[in-house]
Structures are given as C-alpha cells and as structure tokens.
Structure 1
Amino acid sequence: MGIFTERQEALVKSSWEELKQNILHHSIRFFTLIVEIAPATKNMFSFLKDYDEIPQNNTKLQFHTVKVFEMTYESAVQLRKKGVVITDVTLQYLSSIHVPKGVTDAHFEVIKEALLKTIKEAMEDEWSEELGNAWEIAYDELAAAIKKAMRDAPSLA
C-alpha cells in the first residue's frame, strides 16, 4: 500500500460525519445491498435471518452498520500515522464471531461493495472517485487485519 494522504483521511472524516446524520437510513440501505449482492449472507446475521425483508427499525442492524463504518473510518485515521492498529482483544472477538459463521474473503468483498455503494448514494453530488478510493483503501487495510486474525485464530474443531 502506498501512503494514505492527509486529503484521503480528510475525505473519509468529512463523509463519515455526513453519513452519521442519517445512519438509520444508511444502515438499512447497507444491509439491503449486502443481501442483494449475496442473498445467502442474510442467514449469517442473527438480526436478519428471521425476516423476509430488511427490518426498518432494528438496533442490532444499526449497531453493526455503525461498527463497520466506524472501524473503516478509524482505519483511515490510523493509516497515516502507523498503519491499522486493532487491539488483540478486538481481533479475537471479531475472529470468534466471523470464523464460526464461515466468513470468507468473498464475504469481505461483498461488504466492501455494499459499503462503497452506500457511501456513493449517501454523498450524492459530493461523491468522487477520490472519496471512494479513500474509503476503499481504509476498508481493505481493516479487512486484511481481520482476515489475518481469522487465519491465526485457534481452530474451533
């Protein structure tokens, strides 16, 4: 990875501030996109599997969306300083959730696609290729750290 610039960090920061203003709407859109892209993923989320449609007022769905966006945002902020740093406890927790559910690299790509589409739709006229690239780099670095922790996790078998 090249150097994550101050401008890229600023783009992620300002767009995250804007996204937070209507996070419930963006949460529903994010998970709608995930299920549209990869319908089988619906059953991987405890807060979705019992619903035919994406629930409109589900705090777990909203919390999960905020965590994905927030961790990607934090990844962007860290990239310029020292690279993505996630505590071992957080990585162990994420591994303990993702590994048993059978999360694969392909699932991370689905999440990235949904994340970028959600941001593009939310930002409308403020969307740019540069903004998308900044979020994509931050997400890829975060995903790489989580995937490494998943590979390094002790087998549950």
Structure 2
Amino acid sequence: MSTLEGRGFTEEQEALVVKSWSAMKPNAGELGLKFFLKIFEIAPSAQKLFSFLKDSNVPLERNPKLKSHAMSVFLMTCESAVQLRKAGKVTVRESSLKKLGASHFKHGVADEHFEVTKFALLETIKEAVPETWSPEMKNAWGEAYDKLVAAIKLEMKPSS
C-alpha cells in the first residue's frame, strides 16, 4: 500500500481529526499564525525560506503576508487531514501537489523542516483543543501530516 493512500487512516483517527478541526476551524487564522510563530521559535533560520519575510521590518506576529500564508497553510493541512480517509488519498484544494512540491524544492525545504513543522503543528493543535487532546489524537494528526508530507516530497523537483 502506498504511504499516500488514506486506507491506513482509520475511522477512529478520522473522527479525532474531524472533531478537533471542527473546534479549531473558526480560529484558523489565529491558529495558523501561532503555528508559524512556533516554527520560527523552534527554528529561527526557517524564516529565510520565506521571501516575503526577507526585507520586512514588520514584527512576525503583525506581518500581513505571514498571516495570510500561515492561515492558508494551516487550512490546507487541516482540510487535507479531514479528507484523507474519505478521499482515500491526500487532497489539497488551494494548490496542486505539483506546485507545492516545486515550491518546497525551489526554497530548499529539507526533512528537518518538515519535522519542525510537524512538531509545531501538533503543539498548536494540542494548545487549541486541550480538553480533547490525547495520544490517539496526536497519532491521528501525525499520520495525516506524514501522508501530506510524503505526497509533497514525491513532487519535490524543479518545476517544468
């Protein structure tokens, strides 16, 4: 079975992801920004991967381009997780996997960046839904994230 397929994603995992996403979705903008601020707190050098941050004097938490990007990435990641079992594969709405892969390739995103991002995502979700957070929920979100990353990595090559 391909690691990109959602068949390994159980009904229970899906329920945990859907339940937590339902609670988080109204605050997706704020949570997306927290998610990215957490990434930059863990790995400040990751800021260099974002061209819109290079010459900005605006504090990260007030940067409109970061806010927009963070919300977009958080929404895409969470929506992909929610759809995983139903679709049977990783699905993304706003951008194709080819574009995501090419962009990540172009900017030199490496495995450790994905690991930091996973940690930041799980911490953000844990803080957003502390009353329902559990090891099972952590595993469900972790698996969904890993499948999304695997799909992006397959497309990480120069854009044609």
Q: TM-score, normalised by structure 1?
A: 0.81
Deviations along 1:19-67, one digit per CA (max 9) or x if unpaired, are 1222232122111110111110012123433247323362x32333333
User: What letter matches 2:115 in structure 1?
Assistant: E
Q: 2:22 aligns with which of 9, 17, 24?
A: 17
Instruction: Say if 2:60 is the partner of 1:42.
Output: no
1:32 matched to 2:45? The reply is no
Structure 2: where are the runs of 5+ without partners?
none
Q: Structure 2 length as normaliser, TM-score?
A: 0.80
Equivalent pairs, count: 152
Residue 123 of structure 1 and its aligned partner are, at CA, apart by 0.7
Distance 1:86 1:21 in 2: 19
Number of the residue aligned with 2:107: 101
Q: Deviations over 1:96-132 (max 9, x none)?
A: 3211211111111111111101000111222111111
Flag the 1:127–1:71 CA change in 2: closer, same or farther, 3 A. same
Alignment of 1:72-87 (within 5 A): 72-81=77-86, 82-85=88-91
State how far apart, in whole Å, the 2-side matches of 1:28 and 1:86 are.
20
Distance between the aligned counterparts of 1:3 and 1:120, measured in 2?
23
Residues 134 and 51 of structure 1: CA distance in aligned 2, closer, same or farther (over 3 Å): farther
- Which of 145, 149, 156 is the aligned partner of 2:151? 145
- AA matched with 2:85: R
Q: Tell me, which stretches of 5 or more residues in structure 1 are unaligned?
A: none
Question: What's the secondary structure of 2:61's corresponding residue?
Answer: coil
State the identity %: 51
